[in-house]
Amino acid sequence: MYYRRLKDLREDHDLTQTQLVELLGMHKTTYTNYEQGKREIPFSLVIRLARLYDVSIDFIAEFTDEPLPLPSSGRGGRRCGNLSSSYARKPEGLRGEDARDKGKQSERRRGDGEKP
């Protein structure tokens, strides 16, 4: 996928490709292929570029025209949006299944199916 903002951001920061790849510790050909859309850019590199340029990942991916980065989470990293705590929780039906599966695993470890 071609992200035109890779080149725009680099040029806006007065960096040549050679200077940027030295900062990133990668081969110029590899980065050139990312910038030209000939090679898919790894997400980890998008994160590094967002931090380097102080913009959001969404801005690099052209999901927004607002270049400002997300506010810091206070843990040294950036938040990835407003995910509620319920997003991380398993659905109620799966909780019971997990408990039953753990019980079956315990029975298998004991061997002959004896009761606890």
Q: Which pair of tokens denotes residue 43?
A: 């997400």
**Per-domain residue ranges of the chain:** 4-70
Tell me which amino acid residue 31 is: Y
pLDDT tens string, the chain, 116 residues long: the values are 778 899 999 999 999 999 999 999 999 999 999 999 999 999 999 999 999 999 999 999 999 998 887 666 554 444 433 333 333 333 344 344 444 444 544 454 455 554 55
Could you tell me the pTM of the whole model? 0.59
Euclidean distance between CA atoms 60 and 80, whole angstroms: 14
Handedness of CA 97, 103, 105, 108 (dihedral sign): negative
Q: Give the per-residue pLDDT at 94.
A: 39
CA dist., res. 103 & res. 108, Å (int): 9
Confidence (pLDDT) at 52: 94
Dist CA 61 CA 41 (whole Å): 11
What is the domain class of 4-70 according to CATH?
mainly alpha
The pLDDT value recorded for residue 70 is 61
